[in-house]
Every structure is written in C-alpha cells, then in structure tokens.
Amino acid sequence: MAKRLKLATRAFGAEPGLPDVAGLAEWIAEHRGRMADIVTYRLDRSLAPQLDAGIMIPCAGGKFYAARIRQCMSGINDNKAVGELYVDTPAIIEDAAGIVMQKKGAWCAIPAPHILGIRDTYYDDKNEWSDAICDAYRTIMREMRDTGITGHVLIADRMDHAELASLARQNVFFFAPAPDREELAALMEYQHQVAIGKDQLQMVFDLMNEYTLQKIFIISPDRESIRLALDYLDPDQIVTGGYCTEDCGKYWKTLVADAFYER
C-alpha cells in the first residue's frame, strides 16, 4: 500500500475582496487604537485564513498593497513622477507590525515596481528612474524587515531585468503567476528557486539544462503536477505553493489537505 508523505506549504500572497460598509466598520471597531483602513483590512484578510489553515510559511499582502506604496511615496502626482522619490514609512512600519502581531516569521507580498504603473516625467532617463524606484523599494522592504517581516514576495506581471538585478536577493522573491518561457528564463538567471503554476511546470524543467534549479513551488498543484515534479527533483525540493484570488478560507485549507505525495 502506498504511503502518503506531506509536502511543505508556502504562501505567495492573496487578493482578498473589498468588504461591504458594515463589514469594514465592524472590523475597524475591533481594531481601535491602531491604524485601520482598507489596506490594513486586506492585509489582515490575506493572512488570517492562511494561519487558520496551517500554512507553514505564510505571506500577507498582494498586489493590492500598491495603494499603500503610492500613498507613502512623495514625488508622485496623478501616478506620475514629478520630483525626487521619497518614501515616508510610518504607515508601512505599522502595517509590518500588524502582520508580525498575527504571525512572527511571516513574509509580505507587494507588487513589483512596474505594477504601480508610475510614469516618469521627472528623471527623463530610464536608468535613473529605475534606480530611484528600486531604491524606494529597498527602503520599504528594509523598514518592514527591521519591524520583523522575514522577507518579501514581489508579484510581477512581467520580468523586468533592471528590477531583478537591483532587488532579487535571498529575502526578496520574484513571483509571476503566469510567465512565458522567456520570462521564466529571465527569472532563473537571478533566482535558483521559482514559484510556478502547474501549466508552466514543464517549461521550468526544460530550462534546467541552462539554469540551476534548487527548489520549486508549485502553485495550486494537482496529483499529476506533483508526480511530474518528482521525476526531476527530490521531495524536499518540491513545495506546495499558494496565491489566492478566490474564497481564501476554502482555498488554503484545500491546499494544505492536498499537499502530499505517495511513495
């Protein structure tokens, strides 16, 4: 009889929906004494279901955190860079403290710089603009880590070489939900670990002849994708990953329940 063995589980963020007015008012009333707005609500709702489900490496946040980043950046007007970029971090630090209160060791997912869609009308130089916004991101992530966040997931729509070269580090993980082969290759130049959906899994293994792959995080895997991964990697190199954009309570519990392989 086959033996069922558990896989590790890790989150890469979530995109919880907006509450109705009554639901938000009730949540804010429960959090009197600390900053409580729609962003902190969504941070809380992104993390709490992961903790309830028992995700091993939880991750608060998601693309929605763009609202806080824009709010805390000076030099931006109407989503255009009109002056020197500067990040005012008290609200970001308080967000990080709220996450750590829920779970020490949690990560935080934020949108990669290009997701913000800020148009440069000040620096008038592609490299200077990239340096400026990446420096702002380093400030944001450093302040959050100093508050107790373990690391950051940068959720990307595409792989930007300048962002990867400037920001990819051991505690900064780039994640694109649906990359093509070219984007995967760009990512694997900078990261030896990738998070990928089951539909892109074979592309990763095809690229192993060109790039080093130390660990793979399969987003919402099924039995077939886990079996495929085991053809290329050892079990301790395979992790069940999650990125929730739906009913997150059910999503994370199902993810944990299905995180196993048979031997």
Instruction: Write down all domains in the chain, each with its CATH number in brackets.
Output: 4-262 (3.20.20.210)
Contact 93, 147 (CB under 8 A): yes
- Distance CA(9)–CA(11), nearest Å, equals 7
The pLDDT, as a whole number, for residue 191 is: 96
Q: Any bridge partners for residue 111, and if so which?
A: 155
Structure tokens at 196: 């990928």
Expressed in percent and rounded to 5, the helix, strand and coil fractions of the chain are: 50, 25, 30
| Full-model pTM | 0.94
Tell me: the pLDDT tens digits for 75-113?
999 999 999 999 999 999 999 999 999 999 999 999 999
Give me the residues of the chain with pLDDT under 70, please: 1-2, 23, 31-34
Q: Are 69 and 43 in contact (CB under 8 A)?
A: no
**pLDDT tens digits, one per residue of 207-220:** 999 999 999 999 99
Closest CA to 56 of 240, 249, 195: 240
pLDDT the model gives residue 1: 58
Other C-beta atoms lying within 10 Å of the C-beta of residue 163: 21
Cα 255 to Cα 263: distance, rounded to the nearest angstrom = 20
